[in-house]
Amino acid sequence: MAHLYKKLKKGHEYFYIRETQRVYGKPTTINQVYLGTADKVEAALGKGGFSPKEFGSVFALNELDRAVDLAGMINEILPPKKRVRGPSLGELVFYAALNRAIAPTSKRQLANWYETTDIQRIRPLRLESLNSQNFWNHWDRISDSDLEKIKTAFFKKIHTLLPAQKHRLIIEAADISAPPKPSVFADMPQPDQDFLAEHLAQQKLGLALITEWSHGIPFYYQNFSGGVPVNGFYDHMEHLLGKVSSLGVAVEDVTLLVNQEMDAAPIIEQIDGKDGLHFIVSRAPDFAPELTEISLKDFRPLPGKRGAQLSPVAKEDEKILYYETHETFWNRPRRAVITFDPKSFHKSYQDLGKKVQRVRKEMMALSQRHAQEANQANAVDSIKTHLAELCLRLKISPDLFQLNFVTGKGQFRLEFQLDHRQMSGVVRHFGKNILITDCEDWGVEEIYDTCVTRAVLGPDLGDAKAANANRPYGNSKDNRSLFQKALLPLYHWTDSKIRVHLFVCVAALTYLTLLCQRLAAAGIKMTPNEAMEELRELRTAIYVKDLEGKLRRVLEEVNDQQAAILKTLGYVVEDGKVTPLT
- Is 119 domain-assigned? no
What is the model's pLDDT at position 273?
80
What is the number of other CB atoms lying within 10 angstroms of the CB of residue 481? 24
Question: Residue 65 above 80 pLDDT?
Answer: yes
The band of 355, judged by pLDDT with boundaries at 50, 70 and 90, is very high
Domain boundary (513, 543, 576) is at 513
Q: What is the pLDDT of residue 466?
A: 35
> Do 266 and 193 lie in a common domain?
yes
Percent of the chain past pLDDT 70, that is, above it, reads 76
Question: Who has greater pLDDT, 190 or 325?
Answer: 325
Answer yes or no: do 445 and 412 share one domain: no
- DSSP H or E stretch at residue 397: none
| Residue 101 included in any domain | no
- pLDDT surpassing 60 at residue 383: yes
> Given this model, what pLDDT does residue 16 score?
66
- Are 454 and 417 found together in one domain? no
Distance CA 50, CA 543 (A): 7
In angstroms, the CA 289 to CA 299 distance is 16
Report the pLDDT averaged over residues 130-153: 93
CA-CA distance, 89 to 79, in Å (whole number)?
8
Residue where a domain stops, chosen among 468, 498, 513: 513
Residue 575, domain member (yes or no): no
**What tens digit of pLDDT does each residue of 171-181 get?**
988 877 655 55
Range 4-28 average pLDDT = 67
416 & 455 share domain: no
Asked which of 74-88, 194-208, 227-241, 332-346 is least confident by mean pLDDT, the reply is 194-208
| CA–CA dist 5, 11 (Å, integer) | 16
What pLDDT score does 184 carry? 52
Task: Based on the fold, state whether residues 438 and 401 are members of the same structural domain.
Answer: no
pLDDT band of 468, cuts 50, 70, 90: very low
Average pLDDT over residues 433-460: 80
What's the whole-number average pLDDT of the chain?
82
Average pLDDT over residues 350-359: 93
Is position 243 within any domain? yes
Residues 326 and 352 in one domain: no
The pLDDT score that the predictor gives to residue 312 is: 46
pLDDT of residue 12: 67
pLDDT at 364 over 80: yes
Measured in degrees and rounded to the nearest 5, phi and psi for residue 209 equal -130, 135
Question: Do 494 and 382 fall into the same domain?
Answer: no
For residue 477, the model assigns a pLDDT of 43
Residue 97 is assigned to a structural domain of this protein: no
Is residue 152 domain-shared with residue 39, that is, in the same domain?
Answer: no
In a domain, 482, yes or no: yes
Question: Is residue 578 a part of any domain in this protein?
Answer: no
Task: Identify the pLDDT of residue 328.
Answer: 95
- Are 403 and 460 in a shared domain? no
The pLDDT value recorded for residue 475 is 38
Look at residue 506 in the predicted model and tell me its pLDDT.
93
Residue 5 pLDDT > 50, yes or no? yes
Q: How would residue 363 be classed by pLDDT, with cut points 50, 70 and 90?
A: confident
196-235 confidence digits (pLDDT tens): 555 555 567 788 999 999 888 999 999 888 778 877 788 8
Among the listed ranges 126-135, 229-238, 270-279, which one has the minimum average pLDDT value? Answer: 229-238
**What residues make up the domain containing 386?**
345-427
Among 492, 451, 465, 475, smallest CA distance to 223 is for 492
Q: Domain ends where: 406, 427, 448?
A: 427
Residue 11 has pLDDT above 50, yes or no: yes
Let me know whether 444 and 405 are in one domain.
no
User: Which residues, including other chains, have CB under 8 Å from residue 414's CB and lie 6 or more apart?
Assistant: 363, 364, 367, 383, 403, 404, 405, 406
pLDDT digits (tens, 9 = 90+) for 534-559: 999 999 887 765 555 577 788 888 99
Residues 159 and 275 in one domain: yes
Alpha-carbon Rg of the chain, whole angstroms?
29
pLDDT band at 15 (very low <50, low <70, confident <90, very high): low
Mean pLDDT of 518-544: 89
Count the domains in the chain.
3
**Do the Cβ atoms of 74 and 150 come closer than 8 Å?**
yes
pLDDT of 319-336, one tens digit each? 899 999 999 999 999 999
Of residues 373 and 353, more confidently modeled: 353
Mapped onto helix, strand or coil, the DSSP state of residue 280 is: strand
pLDDT at 365 (0 to 100): 87
Confidence at residue 156, expressed as pLDDT on a 0 to 100 scale: 95
Instruction: Tell me: do 204 and 298 sit in the same domain.
Output: yes
Model confidence band, residue 470 (pLDDT cutoffs 50, 70, 90): very low
- Please check the confidence at residue 471 and state whether its pLDDT lies above 80: no
Residue 182 has pLDDT above 50, yes or no: yes
Residue 571 placed within a domain? no
Buried b (16+ CB within 10 A) or exposed e, 500-522: bbbbbbbbbbbbbbbbbbbbeee
pLDDT of residue 454 exceeding 80, the answer is: no
